Structure 1
Amino acid sequence: MDELQRRWLFALSAPMVAINARYDARYDLPNFYPDNEFVDLTESWDIADRPALLAMIQRMTDNGHASDLSGAYWDNARLLPSEWQKLVDSLDASQQVAYRYVADTILVCGSGGIRAWDLGRMSFLARIGQLNGWLSLEESLWLHSRLSLRARYYYQNWQSYLAGFLIGRSYWSCLGHEQADELALCISRQGSNPTHVALARELAMNPAAGLDDLHWDLELDLPEKPESLEAFDWS
C-alpha cells in the first residue's frame, strides 16, 4: 500500500482531525497527534488497553449511533412520499422529530445516513491506538481497510461521507433531550453550533485536508489480516 492509499484510509477520520486541529492533529500521519506519546481514552471512551480498544471498534463500527436512524434512512429512500408520511404519523412525538431530521438530511448524506459519524470515530480510535502502542501500523491499516469497505458501500463520494459525519454529530449532540420539543429545538440549532461551523470551515479551507486530491474511487491495495489479529473475530 503506497502513501496515497494510506492517506485515503486516514482521511476517514479527517473530520476528527478538523475538530482537533487546534491541538495539532494531523491529517496525513497515522498516529494522529505527532507530538504526543499517549492519549488517555479512559474518561472519554472508557478504553484503557488494547482489548478494550478492539472491542469498541468492533461494536461501534456497525452498531453505533447510526443504528438509531439507519432504518429511517432506508425507509425514506425506498418508500413513496405518502407511505413515508403514513409511517411518520404512526410514531410518537420524539420519533417523528428524528424521522423529520432524516427526511431533511437524506439529500446530502444519502441513504447511508450517519454511518460516517461512527466510521470516522473508529478511524480516530485506530490511529490513537497506534499512538498509544496498542496497535501496530500494520494492524491499524487493516482495521482502516475494513472501515473503507463500509464507507464506500454507504457513500458515493467524500462530500456525502463528510455530510454523514456532520449530520451524525449533530444528532449525537442532541441525544440528551427526551422531550420532542426540546429535541427539535436542539436539532434546529446545530447549524450554528460553533464546533460544526469550525469543522466545516477547516475541511473546506485547510489545504492539508487534501480531500480534493483523494479520489473517492482510488484503487486501494487492501492488506491481508495480520496474524496478530487472527483471534479478533471481525472483518
Structure 2
Amino acid sequence: MDENAQHWLHALSAPMAALNGASYTAPDYHEDEDRTDLERWWGIANRAQLLDMLGMADNGHASELSEAYWQFQRCLPSQWQALLERLPLRERTKHEYAARTFPDCGPGGTRAWDLGRMSFLLRAGVKKGFVTPEESLYLHHRLALRARHYYNNWNSYLAGYLFGKALWNVADSSDETLAAHLERQGSEHWNRCILLNIRLGADPLLASLAWDMPLPEPQRPSSLQEDCWS
C-alpha cells in the first residue's frame, strides 16, 4: 500500500488528532512521546482488550441514533411528524437532532464518532506495541470500508464525528434539558478547537486525499485470529 493510501487510512482519526495535537497521518497517533493513557480512559491494558474494543465500530454509540436517521430519510413529512408525536421526550429530542444534522452528515449519521475513535485506538495501540503496523493497516482498511459505505466525502464524515461527539458530551443530561444542551454544543470549547485545528492543519491534507482514491486491501496478517473483529 502506497504512502498516500496509508495517510488516508490514518486520517480517519483526524478529528481526534486535531483535538490533541497528534499526527494526522503517522502510523503512531503520537510520533514522539506516548501521551495516551488507554487504561485510564478506555480500560485497555493489553492487546486482547484493544482488539475486543474494535467491535464498537459496528455496535458503539452511533447505534443510539441509527434508527432515527434511518426513519428520517424514509418518512414523508406527515409520517415523520406522527412518529415524533408518539415518542417519549428523550427519544423525540434525539430524533429531532437527527433531522437537523442529516443535511450535513447524511445517512451515516454519527457513525464517524465510533469509526474515528477506533482508528485512534489502533494508532495508539501501535505505539504501545499492542498491534503491529501491518495489523493496524489491515484493520484500518476495514474501518475505511465502513466509512465509505456510510459517507460520501470527508466533510460528511467529519460532521458525523462532531455530531456524535456532541451527543456524547451531553449524555448525562436529563430528558428535560437534553435539547437545550445539544443546542449549545456548537459553541462548546473543545468542539470549536477541533473545527479550528482541522481548518488550519488538516484541510489541505484531506483535500489531497480524495475520498474515493484507491485503497488496496492489505493481506490479512496471520497474527490476527479468525474471530478478531474485521
Task: Give TM-score, length-normalised by structure 2.
Answer: 0.97
What percent of counterpart residues are identical? 47
CA-CA distance at 1:42 after TM superposition? 1.2
Matched-pair contact (CA < 8 Å) for 2:101–2:163: yes
- Equivalent position to 2:112, from 94, 97, 116: 116
Superposed displacement of residue 194, structure 1: 0.8
1:149-171 CA-partner distances (Å, limit 9, x unpaired) = 00000000000000000000000
1:53 is aligned, of 36, 50, 54, to 50
Shift of 1:209: 6.0
Q: How does 1:59-138 map to 2 (within 5 A)?
A: 60-138=56-134
Look up the match of 1:200: 195
Alignment size in residue pairs? 230
What is the aligned partner in structure 2 of residue 7 from structure 1? 7
Aligned-residue Cα RMSD (Å) equals 1.2
Whichever residue aligns with residue 19 of structure 2, its letter is: I
CA 1:79 to 1:145, structure 2 compared with 1: closer, same or farther past 3 Å?
same
Answer with 203-212 or 162-171: which moved more: 203-212
For 1:70 and 1:173, locate their aligned partners in 2 and report how far apart those are by CA, in whole Å: 18
Q: In the alignment, which of 146, 149, 152 is matched to residue 142 of structure 2?
A: 146
User: Residue type of the partner of 1:185?
Assistant: A
Matched letter for residue 136 of structure 1: T
Alpha-carbon distance between aligned partners in 2 of 1:49 and 1:18, rounded to the nearest angstrom: 26
> Offset of 1:32 from its aligned partner?
1.0
The answer to whether 1:216 aligns with 2:211 is: yes
> Which residue does 1:234 correspond to in 2?
229
Aligned to 2:170: 174
> How far did 1:208 drift?
7.6
1:35 aligns with 2:32: yes
Structure 1 counterpart of 2:38, one-letter code: L
Counterpart code for 1:14: A
CA distance in 2, matches of 1:224, 1:84: 45
How far 1:205 moved relative to its partner? 1.5
